[in-house]
Structure 1
Amino acid sequence: MSDADMMQLYSKRILALAADIPHLGRIADPQGSAKKRSPHCGSTVTAHVRIEDGHVAAFGQEVRACALGQASAAVLGTHVMGATRAEIARGEAQLLAMLKETGPVPDAPWDGLEVLIPARDYPNRHASILLSWQAVLAAIDAAETQPESRAAGN
Structure 2
Amino acid sequence: MFRVMSELYHNRVLELAAGIPHVGDLESPDGSVLKVSRVCGSTVKVDLTLDEAGERVTAIAVDPKACALGQAATSILAEHAVGATIEEIIAARDALKDMLKDNGPPPEGRFWELRHLEPVADYPPRHTSTLLAFEAAVAAIDEALASRGSSRAAVN
TM-score normalised by length of structure 1: 0.90
| Distance in structure 2 (CA, Å) of the matches to 1:146 and 1:100 | 32
1:102 counterpart = 2:83: no
What is the aligned partner in structure 2 of residue 14 from structure 1? 13
Displacement, 1:6?
2.0
Once superposed, which parts of structure 1, at least 4 consecutive aligned residues long, lie more than 2 Å away?
A: none
SS of match in other structure, 1:145: helix
Displacement, 1:100?
1.1
What is the aligned partner in structure 2 of residue 146 from structure 1? 147
1:85 maps to a residue whose letter is I
C-alpha offsets along residues 54-109 of structure 1, whole Å, 9 cap, x if unaligned?
21111101101000001111111111001122110101111111111111111111
What is the aligned partner in structure 2 of residue 84 from structure 1? 85
| Distance in structure 1 (CA, Å) of the matches to 2:50 and 2:109 | 21
Displacement, 1:144?
1.2
Displacement, 1:126?
0.4
1:131 maps to a residue whose letter is L
What is the aligned partner in structure 2 of residue 47 from structure 1? 46
How well do the aligned residues superpose, as a CA RMSD in angstroms?
A: 1.6
| Distance in structure 2 (CA, Å) of the matches to 1:16 and 1:93 | 24
2:21 maps to a residue whose letter is P
Identical residues among aligned pairs (%): 42
Residue correspondences, number: 147
TM-score normalised by length of structure 2: 0.89
| Distance in structure 2 (CA, Å) of the matches to 1:121 and 1:146 | 38
SS of match in other structure, 1:50: strand
2:44 maps to a residue whose letter is V
2:29 maps to a residue whose letter is P
Displacement, 1:125?
0.3
